[in-house]
Amino acid sequence: MNGRIETGRIDRRFAALNKQGSAALVTFTMAGDPDYATSLAILKALPKAGADVIELGMPFTDPMADGPAIQAAGLRALKAGQTLKKTLAAVRDFRAGDDATPIVLMGYYNPIYIYGVERFLADAKTAGVDGLIVVDLPPEEDSELCLPAMKAGLNFIRLATPTTDEKRLPAVLTNTSGFVYYVSITGITGAAAPDTGKVAAAVARIKRHTKLPVSVGFGVRTAAGSSLARRWWKPCAKVSGPTASRHLQASRP
């Protein structure tokens, strides 16, 4: 069973791409890196560059799931004065010119907890945020943020990994909405290149358990790897269907 909320930008975007028979390009950029103005300009430029869905990183001092590139991006942003409040402001500024492109905030629970969950969800919804990826909150902690987020009308996107077996997968998929994020490698972002055959098999397995789109990430570590990801995703799309997405994590070096 998947968590369902009122159809929003993410569902509409994937439905449109599905109708076209196209996969989606999901991009990542860190809010506030290297400064607020520059990061906002990058954010605004991503849809014109081909992004179908944008993941906006919430900088945090201890990003345990991220590799050196994204860690450095987050630290630069924090040094430049980026806060969660400013990240939400960036979404509002983006929405002034784009009301169609889905934005998913990606990061860790600590900044949200400090901000205050109820206040954060209300402010995020008002700003124009569509979904959340919070990598350090497992299904057992759904009451902390997942369920309140769904009640507020935000998608809560869960991560499945190469170690997520058949016993664990139902728990991962319960209350997940928008799309499922498949972590293509074991380890931190950009640590290694994924095995395309294993990724294709894993995506096909997940798709047998859910009708949600599946986004693939974590396995991009160089500019060349970003280009490669566009190529290696194609066989996965054939296996998993046109609503599966190509996920590229590209942060400033």
**118 catalytically annotated:** no
What percent of the chain shows pLDDT beyond 90?
64
Is 54's pLDDT higher than 90?
Answer: yes
Given 11, 66, 130, 142, the catalytic residue? 66
Average pLDDT of 232-242? 34
Tens of pLDDT, residues 204-226:
899 999 999 998 876 655 544 44
The residue whose two tokens read 């900044």 is: 111
- Confidence label for 1 from pLDDT (cuts 50, 70 and 90): very low
**What is the CATH superfamily name and number for domain 9-249?**
Aldolase class I (3.20.20.70)
- The pLDDT, as a whole number, for residue 14 is 94
Beta-carbon neighbour count of residue 229 at 10 Å? Answer: 23
> Catalytic one among 11, 33, 55, 142?
55
Confidence of residue 245 (pLDDT cuts 50, 70, 90): very low
Structure-model confidence comparison of residues 7 and 182, the more confident one: 182
> Which pair of structure tokens corresponds to residue 213?
């789109």
Question: Cβ of 166: how many Cβ atoms within 10 Å?
Answer: 9
pLDDT at 127 over 60: yes
- 55 catalytic, yes or no? yes
Which pair of tokens denotes residue 6? 């009122």
The pLDDT, as a whole number, for residue 238 is 31
